[in-house]
Structure formats: C-alpha cells, structure tokens
Amino acid sequence: MMRWLRLAPIPLASSCFCTAVVAQDKQKLSPPVDVAIQGHVYRPAQLEPTDARIAKLHAPDGFRINKFAEGMINPRMLAVGDDGTVYVTRRDLGDCVMLRDTNGDGVADVRKVVAERPDMHGIAIDGRRMYLTAVKEVYTADIQSDGTLANFTRIIADLPDAGQHPNRTLAMGPDKQLYVSVGSTCNTCDEANPENATMLQVSPDGSSRTIFASGLRNTIGFGWHPVTHELWGMDNGVDWIGDDEQKEELNHIEQGKRYGWPFVYADGKLSPDREPKGGITNEQWREQSTEPVLLYTAHSAPIQMAFYTGSQFPDEYRNDAFVAMRGSWNRKTPSGYEVVRIHFDPAGKPQRIEPFVTGFVQQEGAGYGYIARLAGCAVAKDGSLLVSDDKNGVIYRISYAGAKGGAR
C-alpha cells in the first residue's frame, strides 16, 4: 500500500498531484481503493504590522482594535488572573510573562518574566493558583499579590513524547480536575502511546490521570460552556488530503468517547490509506466514533478558544466562544488568519461558526502576506478580547466602543 505523498516544506507556492492505490487484501477480501488527491504548499509572506495594515482589519460595527503589547517576540497562550493581570507563555523563549495595564488606556505598561522552563506553552489559572505545561511536564505555582509566582513545583514529568504536535494546553474544569490536551505525534499514524491524540483528566496535584477522550488529533483550544458546563473543543484536521479537506472540527467532548482520528475525519469520511489494526475496519471505527457538531474551513488551524463571559460586548455575544485561527500553509488560497465566533443558542448548543475579526492576511501584489499568525485568545477583566500573534510579537486588544465606534 502506498502512503500519501509528503512534500518537503518550501517557501513558495507549489502543488502536487498524487494517487494512492491500495491493492486488495486477500485475507480481508477488501475492495481496491483508488483516490486522487491534490495538495498545495502555500505560505503567505510575513509583513510588518504597520498602522496602515492594521487599519485594514475588519470587525463588526462598534468594535475597535489596538495593540495591547508589542515586541513580545513569540506570545502564545493567554490567561487572565482574577485581578486583571494578563499572562502569556512564549514557547520559543521558554518563559511566561505577566502584563499589566495600570492606567487603563488599553495598553500594557508593566511587563515581567515570572517563570522560565524550556518549551513552556499551556497555561491555566484557578484563583491564586497557576498551572503551566511544557512538552512532558506540568508545573504549578502560587500567584502572589504583585503578580509574580512562588512555590514553583513540577507535578508531572512524563507526558507523552511530542512529535509533530508538542503544544500541550490545559484548563481547570468545573469539577476541579485538570484537563490536558495531548496532540498526536504525526499527521496520521497508529500511536504507540495511548495517551497521544487525547484529552487527559488529571488530579490537581498530578498524582493520577486518565484518558478522558481519544481520537483528537490536536485539540489545542477547548473550554466549558458557562451555563451548561459542557466541554467543547476545536480539533485541527489532517494535512495532505486536499485544499478543502479536512475541515476543522468543533467537538462536544464527553468522557469515554472517541472522535475519529486517524481513521475517520470530518463528518464521517474514511481515511483513504489507513485502517485500524486487529481486524477492525474503518467503517467499524466510524460506528464507534463521535462526529463533530460543526465544521469550519479546512486548514484554518484553530488554536486557543475562549468563552465570552465579559460585559463589555453587546448581550448577544455572551456565552459565545471565540477562537484564534492561526492560518493555513497546506492550502492554495489561505484560510484562517482570523478570529472566529462560535454562536451558541440559549440552551448552550452551537449553531454556526463565522468570522469575527478578519484581515490578518492581506493581498500584496500578486500574492498574499500576513501581519499576524494568531495563537492565544482570552477575555480580559474589562471585557475586551485579547489575541496574540506569535510571529510578529503583538497582542491585540479588541474592544467595543458602541455602534459608531468602528473597527479602529
């Protein structure tokens, strides 16, 4: 059986056309498979986030966008303390930075490194306690009155190896258990470690953990609906099955359930080149898996997700979720590079996903360029929305200024 063709990353647009032909398995008596797949590598150029380019960002009427912090180098995941202090991890630098806006002008004027560990990425705050993750480790620390950390302690040292998806994230659930997202080591493969491609449930002291849900390729962004307390997460789809496949998934994540990867994707489609071991067919795997509730444009790359619990935005936004879409590289026309909104009805059921702030990717000449690849997303204490750009080092603040406020 031939594997899908994998192209080495290159800086310019390119295309490939490949056909996978799987011969008949005499033991299983399965039919032949003949699938044609066209894929692209397209990376927009990196552009400076000038005032003129930021002015091209588009948000609904009444919303304004400004730089909350810049020169941050590699800001990734965001969390906000009870006192309004903003914390951001910087994976490439291996640290966590605290930010404060002491004069209320919407711009951080205090910046200080409060923790340092290699590959630091995920962050969660529960009252005066902070949790941080690296690739294999989980740490905890006390938040002091000045925003710095004390009693920094490692509580887990043996999370699975990283591979393709090293960006662990975590959050404290309504049940006061930690939930840790552990991505897959690959695009599609049979994982050797059953904890890869899962959501783990972990005791707050790290002494015990279990697999809460599986079949999740890389669910970096997740959270609980503020009213129903149901867990929702955005899973990153697989690469190299076409410009419009696999679409990104919004999953209702429930204990003990499996969510398709790596043999089933999107709304019940079967992997063209891979089957489970042990005599199980893809169709049987599909029957035992839970399909996503909503789908979004392929390769948009969802990262952090935040439910809106603030009071600054209009009432219609309350209890909806926002997601930072980092943007595509495996699609000819770029997708993502935006903040999207997930609409939930009053009963807590998601209805649709739509763009909220767009324009972080812009046409430049004959091609495209980006001013931001978004990663973090969090609701500030004043009700504004913060999103981080891990390429140009900016944290943007999206605030509501009234019906005549405009996008800037």
**Phi, psi at residue 214, to the nearest 5°?**
-130, 180
* Burial (CB count <10 Å: 0-12, 13-18, 19+), residue 223: buried
pLDDT at 273: 80
Contact (CB, 8 A) for 321 and 344:
yes
Query: What is the Cβ-side half-sphere exposure of residue 244, based on CA atoms within 13 angstroms?
Result: 0
Cβ neighbours for 246, distance < 8 A, ≥ 6 positions apart: 237, 238, 265, 266, 269, 298
pLDDT at 51: 96
**Phi, psi at residue 360, to the nearest 5°?**
-70, -15
Mean pLDDT for each consecutive 10-residue tract of the chain (408 residues)?
A: 34 38 46 79 96 96 98 98 98 98 97 98 98 98 98 98 95 98 96 97 98 98 98 96 94 98 93 86 94 98 98 98 97 96 98 98 92 98 98 98 57
- Quick one: DSSP state of residue 160? P
pLDDT at 12: 35
**Residue 18's beta-bridge partner residues?**
37
pLDDT at 364: 85
Is this structure's pTM higher than 0.85?
A: yes
Cβ neighbours for 295, distance < 8 A, ≥ 6 positions apart: 247, 248, 249, 250, 266, 267
Domains and CATH numbers, the chain: 14-400 (2.120.10.30)
**Phi, psi at residue 243, to the nearest 5°?**
-60, -35
pLDDT at 38: 83
pLDDT at 279: 84
Tell me the two tokens of residue 254: 């429930």
